[in-house]
Amino acid sequence: MQIKRLMIAVSASCLFSLSAEACTDFKLTAKDGTVLITRSMEFGADLQSNLRTSPRGTEVTTTTPNKQPGMSWKSKYGYIYLDGFNIDAAFDGMNEEGLTFEYLYLPGETQYQSIPEGKDSQAIPYTQFGNWVLANFKSIDEVKEALNNVYVTDQSLPQLGSAVLPAHASIYDASGKGIVVEFYNEKINVFDNMGIMTNSPKYDWHTTNLRNFINLSPVNAEAITSNGITYNSVGQGSGAIGLPGDASPPSRFVKTAFMVKNVYEAENSKELVNLAEHIINNVDLPAGYVRSINNGQTATDTTQWVVFKDMTNKMLYYRTYHDMTLRAVALKELNFAENAPALKMPLLSEPFQINMTEQFLKASK
């Protein structure tokens, strides 16, 4: 069984490392205390994502890899989430208490757990892990305690040729406290979330790698004089020479961490969302920007959607690759009551521009 799981993980990594390595996640806090989580979703294949809700009282029974009944629960909290491949699984979401969940790709590192004998009722497939977290917890402390009593298993996806997606999770509560959850060595490995997350390698590698860039500064380098000649920097940004700029996960981690640390603090939620857009734009992937070729076939990641979760005001904002217009959903206006209808709406949209010609023609000097 262990060898089989490893082979599945390796085959999935080979399949998707060609086209899915570029999600980015970060946290910002405004002066008024608003906490915002931003994440981009990059993938090679069309995710066909939907925006969904799940009301309180939803009953779920999972299935183990050996087709036995797994963990069951009845939702304590309603939540909104984004799926992928039309699978009823939370790739990203926020519950009515402001707790958020994000799955990001982690190829080459992830190995989901096997189930000890007699523990089927504590087993949950990774595809339902996000739903379980969003449905049952409102604080990071609660999540951490519950993780001691679960086993997160693999589950093949027929929509992807029975592959298993290797992933790690970023989880925050409304206070801004966060953790990163990774699966390897038959364990659920939990790290304090420093507010930045990308993809492979493992999370502790990224936090260690940051030490290589502690010299970087947003302040321009001062002029120096040598042999009577004064040398000035050639433009803005000289204090950050050496800051990685490519699209690889280590580089995106460092660059995003540098920006989050050094940008001016936003005053309020409105300014915070705008600031987050500017930061996430630095890791946006237009089609063709990053490619891989395997057996003569070219694959390219694109930023299929970006989601901004205001955990303080319970607002979810999103935009898509073809329409950068920001859309907002107020969780406080959604019906999460028990037996309320579960909502589902396609996320992708056609290219859109606002025609300002008529308004401009009415303008005066």
168-189 pLDDT, tens per residue? Answer: 999 999 999 999 999 999 999 9
Q: Spell out the residues 6+ positions from residue 250 whose beta carbon is closer than 8 angstroms to its own.
A: 198, 201, 206, 209, 244
Which one has a higher pLDDT value, 191 or 3? 191
* In-domain check, residue 19: yes
pLDDT for 28 beyond 50? yes
Asked if the bond preceding 55 is cis, omega within 30° of 0, the reply is no
Mean pLDDT, residues 147-166: 89
Q: What percent of the chain has pLDDT over 70?
A: 94
* In-domain check, residue 195: yes
pLDDT for 3 beyond 80? no
Check which CATH number belongs to the domain holding 272 and give it.
3.60.60.10
Instruction: Give the per-residue pLDDT at 59.
Output: 98
322-356 pLDDT tens trace: 999 999 999 999 999 999 999 999 997 777 788 98
pLDDT for 203 beyond 70? yes
pLDDT for 14 beyond 70? no
Whether 149 and 1 have beta carbons less than 8 Å apart is answered as no
Question: Scanning the structure block, which residue is given the tokens 């930061």?
Answer: 279
Helix residue spans in the chain (DSSP H): 2-16, 126-136, 140-146, 203-209, 249-262, 269-280, 357-361
pLDDT band at 163 (very low <50, low <70, confident <90, very high): confident
Lowest mean pLDDT among 5-14, 219-228, 327-336: 5-14
Number of domains in the chain: 1
* In-domain check, residue 308: yes
* In-domain check, residue 84: yes
Which domain does 186 fall in, by range?
2-199+265-361
The token pair at 227 is: 């042999």
The mean predicted confidence, pLDDT, of the chain is 93
Local structure of 262: helix, strand or coil: helix
Mean pLDDT, residues 56-78: 97
* In-domain check, residue 210: no
d(CA 330, CA 29): 19
pLDDT band at 21 (very low <50, low <70, confident <90, very high): low
* In-domain check, residue 128: yes
pLDDT for 305 beyond 60? yes
* In-domain check, residue 218: no
Q: Is 22 exposed, middle or buried (0-12, 13-18, 19+ CB in 10 A)?
A: buried
Mean pLDDT, residues 56-82: 97
Whether 106 and 168 have beta carbons less than 8 Å apart is answered as yes
* In-domain check, residue 272: yes
pLDDT for 1 beyond 50? no
The token pair at 300 is: 């390219």
Chain-centre distance of CA 242, in angstroms?
A: 26
The token pair at 340 is: 């309320």
